[in-house]
Each structure stands twice: as structure tokens, then as C-alpha cells.
Amino acid sequence: MNLPAALLRLYPSAFRERWGDDLRADAEAAGWRSWPNLVTGAFDMWLHPAIWPVTWPAQRNSRAAAMAILVTVACWLVAHLTTEPGAHAYALVLNGCAWLLAVGLALLAPVPRLAAVIPLVLRSVRMLAAPALLAAAVVVIVHSSLPLPHLPVLLAWWASWALGTVQGCRIVAGLGPDLVLPPTLARTRLGIAVLTGSSAAAAGAIVVFAVVHPAPLPVLLGIGAALSVLACGAAHRDLVAG
């Protein structure tokens, strides 16, 4: 097995297409010493989608927005899962996160071109069909009398949300100028800043829950939530610098 080639697969496809050959040559020349750098470099690239090579001017904005949406929604979902035992105490914070999330999504939403509405709807239906069917199945099961364990049903419900989030971000990131008018750079910066605030509030709820209810899982989730805030911040910083 060619380990450097496998590690290069960790990088975004846009990065590999532009610089993959040069990076592979450098890695083969350096030998095993390059392996840790390849891993950390791939992680760094995924945190900075705004600096990937682009094929049209606003593509950088779309990628940064998609990443910010993904980590913000993931953080919000994790906050709900983590704080479920004390949901009433954290409802105010999580509701505030939801409002901030809605505002950020509105700011980052591209405007469909009139001629592209139908293709865009068809693409969205195709990509969101799986999570929608999974969520519908969970709803049917919950309202039936089937004697199924609670945990698998709960995991399936949140999995449908997670999959829907990933697919939604893929839709946003893949929208070209032929389909939509992307948000301006100013709107993108403001939207990501709002999403960063939403992530920070959700991460704070998880951290407080981990302190009040010390357990390995909430602590690990709190660390993950803090990293998601850093990811949103990285996207915003790259756009501001650009």
C-alpha cells in the first residue's frame, strides 16, 4: 500500500487537482518524515475552504459558507443531545442558538436564478431524499405500537438530521453561477460571524453541562464543540483576510 498516496486522498479534491502532483513528489522525496505533515496539512485545508483553488469568483464564499453551516448545525445538534437530561435549564440558550442559526442561514442563502428554480428543486429533492425518508420512518415508528428500543430510534432521528445537514451543505457548496446569485462577500462575512456566535453559545451550553454533570462523553463533546467554533472562526478570518 502506498501510504503517501492514501494520505493525499484526505485532502479536498480541488486541492488535489491543483497541487496533488507536487505534494506527492515532495512526500515521496521526504519519505516517512512527511507523513505527519500530510495528515496535519489535510486537516488544516478542510478548516480553510476559503483558500482552496476556485473555478469561479464567488465559489470561495460558497465553500466557506457551507463549512460554517455544517459545523454550526452539528454543534447545535450535539448541544441538544448532550443537554437532553437538563433540557429545560438549557432551552433558553439553545433557542437563542436556533434564532442565530436562522439569521446566519438567511444571510448566507444564495438567490436562485429564475430559469434554474426547477433544476435546483430537483437536485435538492434528490439529495435530501434519504434523510427525509429516514426521518419519516422514525416518525411512523414513534406513532406506531411497535415495541422497538428507544435508543436506536433516537439515534436514527438524529442521524437523519446529521445526514440532511451534510447533504444541504453539499448543495450549497455545489451551486454554480448558472444556478444562483451567490451572497456578496460582505453578507458572507456577516453570516459566518453570526454562525460563529451561534456555535459559541451552543458550545458554551455543552461546556456548562459537562461541568455540572461531569462525564467523559459530555467533556469530549464540549471539546468538539469548541473546535467547531474555531472552524467557523477560521472561515470568517480567511474571508476577512481575502
What confidence tens digit (pLDDT) does each residue in 118-169 have?
888 888 899 899 989 998 988 888 888 777 777 788 788 878 888 887 788 7
Q: Are 229 and 201 in contact (CB under 8 A)?
A: no
The residue with cell 405500537 is: 145
pLDDT value at 187 more than 90:
no
CA distances from 150 to 28, 144, 154, 155, 201 (A): 50, 13, 6, 9, 29
What angle (nearest 5°) sits at the alpha carbon of residue 157, between those of residues 152 and 158? Answer: 100
Cα of first residue to Cα of last residue in the chain, in angstroms, is 39
Check residue 129 and give its pLDDT: 92
Check residue 195 and give its pLDDT: 82
Hey, which residues does 181 pair with through a beta bridge? 111
| Spatial distance between the Cα atoms of 240 and 49, rounded to a whole number of angstroms | 13
Average pLDDT, the chain: 76
Band of residue 63 on the pLDDT scale cut at 50, 70, 90: confident
222 conformational bin, left if phi > 0, alpha if psi -120 to 50, beta if neither: alpha
Number of residues assigned to the chain: 242
CA distances from 175 to 6, 59, 79 (A): 29, 8, 29
In percent, how much of the chain has pLDDT > 90? 2
pLDDT value at 215 more than 70:
no
Check residue 153 and give its pLDDT: 82
Band of residue 239 on the pLDDT scale cut at 50, 70, 90: low
| Spatial distance between the Cα atoms of 160 and 130, rounded to a whole number of angstroms | 8
